Amino acid sequence: MNEKIIKMIEEHSEERDFFGGASEEDILNAEEMLGLKFPQSYREFLKEYGSGGICGVEIVGVQGNLGASVVKATERWRNIGLDMGLIVIEDSGEFVRCMYSADVNDERVFSWIRGGGELSVRYETFDDYTIDMFQEGIDNM
């Protein structure tokens, strides 16, 4: 896990901002439900934090035996046209931030707007996305 992300979380998280680390079994179950493998950087986030965020920024993930918000969000967006090889990591309601499965070997984070259209590259890596979004949340406090 990226040290800058860890430091941001340590300095700005409050109680219940994160669900808590997901087990390997729960991560595998979520992957199986979606029919794909999560990128390594996102898996590391899931193992450490499960789901959640700081300062109003929320990354969907895996919540143990309570389910997986990543599965619910990804399935919902697939129903309106999101490519089956993509994983939703942030759901704003009007657009999503998403990543390709590990099989594609592409760590970039994309935006996709409700109603279709082309994917738009937003960040080169999950870590870049997380740092930028958390920093934006911190700056807007």
- Specify if 108 maps to a domain: yes
pLDDT of residue 119: 94
Residue 37 has pLDDT above 90, yes or no: yes
By the 8 A CB rule, do 86 and 99 touch?
yes
- Judged by phi (left if over 0) then psi (alpha if -120 to 50, else beta), residue 90 lies in beta
- Specify if 11 maps to a domain: no
pLDDT of residue 141: 86
Domain count across the chain: 1
Please state, rounded to an integer, the average pLDDT across all residues of the chain: 95
Q: Is 106 helix (H, G, I), strand (E, B) or coil?
A: coil
- Specify if 9 maps to a domain: no
How many CA atoms, within 13 angstroms, populate the side-chain half-sphere of residue 124?
0
Q: pTM for this structure?
A: 0.94
By C-alpha distance, which of 131, 139, 114, 133 is closest to 57? Answer: 133
- In this prediction, residue 64 has a pLDDT band, given cuts at 50, 70 and 90, of confident
Mean pLDDT along residues 59-67: 90
- In this prediction, residue 116 has a pLDDT band, given cuts at 50, 70 and 90, of confident
- Specify if 121 maps to a domain: yes
- Specify if 10 maps to a domain: no
By the 8 A CB rule, do 96 and 111 touch?
yes
| Domain with 115 in it | 16-139
- Specify if 100 maps to a domain: yes
Looking at residue 56, which CATH number applies to its domain? 3.40.1580.10
By C-alpha distance, which of 111, 123, 130 is closest to 53? Answer: 130
pLDDT of residue 74: 98
